């Protein structure tokens, strides 16, 4: 009896192992088909997996329905359905994309608060674009109470994950002193990182900072003028005299005798030439029309006043 049970269990293991291998291969086969533009084939691989609870396949189906083939319209309702299924399993990319659809109001009624909720979940899982989107929402007060300090925190997380928009945003934050002290050196560091990622706005800012350095170097140095000490011990000060009237002779009451303290020495008089501040502080970024990072090489683009990512061609990312 025991021998028979072992044989049954062994046979079951042999039967299940190839099944799991096929499922794993099916997901990757779907990725390949999707990247080659064959959505029908990708769907045939992913749909059975998604219906069986495969989180990545559910997310990939959401991307497939949101990224239609040539001439078709996006199927947002289907995309949201599968994004929600994947988001409930903790797939950060699905949470980020679901937040984007709620922010844009595509396929569903716009709800900024829900968008922020999904971005927060994805950000805590270290999703770079969700961190950037959450930072923007906090900075602008969209769907959440405005909080510059928390916004800068999430900008840092996203920038450290190499998102050019967040790197440019940090450059603006430090250049303008928004919730942090003005620091052009730190601003320059982040502008250079964003420029390296192809951000043209960062290149423009670096040019401006370089010009400020040139102008600062061209300013005259402070001039120090020393006043020679008084040589005499007694100084006569004439009060009430009329300039140009030679006939007027001072009376005794007109003359004051001032005896200076022999120990006291006059301090050198320093005349400094102070230039006007080179960087003027402005209001929050949401009031600054220049604070709109442009398209970046990762394929993300702005939609209205909120920067959100486009779906990438590779659903594994």
Amino acid 258: pLDDT: 36
pTM score, whole prediction: 0.63
**Collapsing DSSP states into helix, strand and coil, what is residue 107?**
coil
Cα 281 from chain centre: 18
User: Contact at 8 Å (CB) between 63 and 83?
Assistant: no
pLDDT reported for residue 218: 65
Query: Nearest Cα to 30, choosing from 21, 20, 40?
Result: 40
Q: Which of 145, 192, 144 is nearest to 168 (CA)?
A: 192
Amino acid 300: pLDDT:
34
The per-residue pLDDT for 231 is 40
* Cα–Cα distance, 297 to 275 (Å, whole number): 40
- Res 222: pLDDT: 55
Tokens read off for 315: 């659903």
Backbone torsions φ then ψ of 267, nearest 5 degrees: -80, 145
Residues 150 and 138: beta-carbon distance below 8 Å: yes
- The Cα 201–Cα 52 span in angstroms is 46
CA distance 50 to 86: 9
Please tell me the predicted confidence (pLDDT) of residue 215.
84
| Cα(75)–Cα(82) distance, integer angstroms | 11
* Residues ≥6 apart with Cβ < 8 Å to 90: 55, 125
Q: Which residues, other chains included, contact 262 with Cβ-Cβ below 8 Å and sequence gap of 6+? A: 233
Residue 144 buriedness (CB in 10 A; 0-12 / 13-18 / 19+): buried
Task: Report the C-alpha gap between 30 and 281 in whole angstroms.
Answer: 52
User: What residue ranges define each of the domains in the chain, with the CATH number in brackets?
Assistant: 8-89 (1.25.40), 110-218+285-311 (1.25.40.10)
Task: Kindly list the distances between the CA atom of residue 226 and the CA atoms of 83, 95, 111, 268, in Å, as whole numbers in the listed order.
Answer: 76, 70, 69, 5
Per-run averaged pLDDT (10 residues), the chain, 317 residues:
48 41 76 93 96 96 90 91 96 97 95 97 97 97 96 97 97 94 95 95 94 77 46 33 36 34 50 34 39 38 35 47
Contact 195, 207 (CB under 8 A): no
**Bridging pattern class, strands 223-225 and 269-271:** antiparallel
State the DSSP code for 272: -
Return the sign of the alpha-carbon dihedral for residues 121, 124, 130, 136. positive
């Amino acid at each position: 009896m025991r021998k028979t049970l072992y044989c049954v269990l062994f046979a079951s293991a042999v039967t299940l192992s190839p099944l799991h291998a096929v499922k794993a291969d099916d997901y990757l086969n779907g990725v390949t088909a999707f990247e080659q533009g064959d959505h029908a084939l990708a769907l045939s691989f992913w749909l059975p997996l998604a219906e069986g609870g495969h989180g990545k396949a559910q997310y990939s189906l959401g991307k497939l329905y949101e990224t239609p083939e040539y001439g078709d319209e996006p199927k947002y309702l289907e995309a949201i359905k599968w994004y929600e299924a994947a988001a409930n399993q903790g797939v950060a990319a699905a949470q980020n994309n679901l937040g984007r659809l709620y922010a844009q109001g595509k396929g569903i009624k716009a709800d900024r608060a829900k968008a922020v909720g999904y971005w927060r979940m994805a950000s805590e899982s270290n999703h770079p674009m969700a961190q950037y989107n959450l930072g923007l929402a906090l900075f602008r007060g969209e769907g959440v109470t405005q909080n510059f300090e928390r916004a800068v925190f999430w900008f840092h997380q996203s920038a450290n994950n190499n998102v050019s928009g967040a790197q440019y945003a940090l450059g603006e934050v430090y250049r303008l002193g928004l919730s942090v002290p003005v620091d052009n050196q730190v601003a320059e560091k982040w502008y250079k990182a964003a420029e390296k990622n192809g951000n043209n706005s960062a290149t423009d800012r670096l040019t401006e900072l370089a010009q400020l350095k040139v102008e600062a170097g061209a300013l005259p140095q402070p001039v120090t003028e020393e006043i020679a000490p008084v040589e005499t011990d007694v100084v006569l000060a004439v009060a009430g005299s009329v300039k140009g009237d030679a006939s007027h002779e001072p009376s005794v009451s007109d003359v004051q005798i001032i005896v200076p303290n022999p120990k006291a020495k006059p301090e050198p008089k320093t005349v400094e030439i102070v230039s006007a501040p080179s960087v003027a502080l402005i209001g929050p970024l949401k009031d600054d029309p220049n604070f709109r990072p442009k398209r970046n090489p990762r394929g993300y683009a702005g939609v209205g006043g909120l920067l959100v990512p486009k779906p990438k061609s590779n659903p594994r990312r």
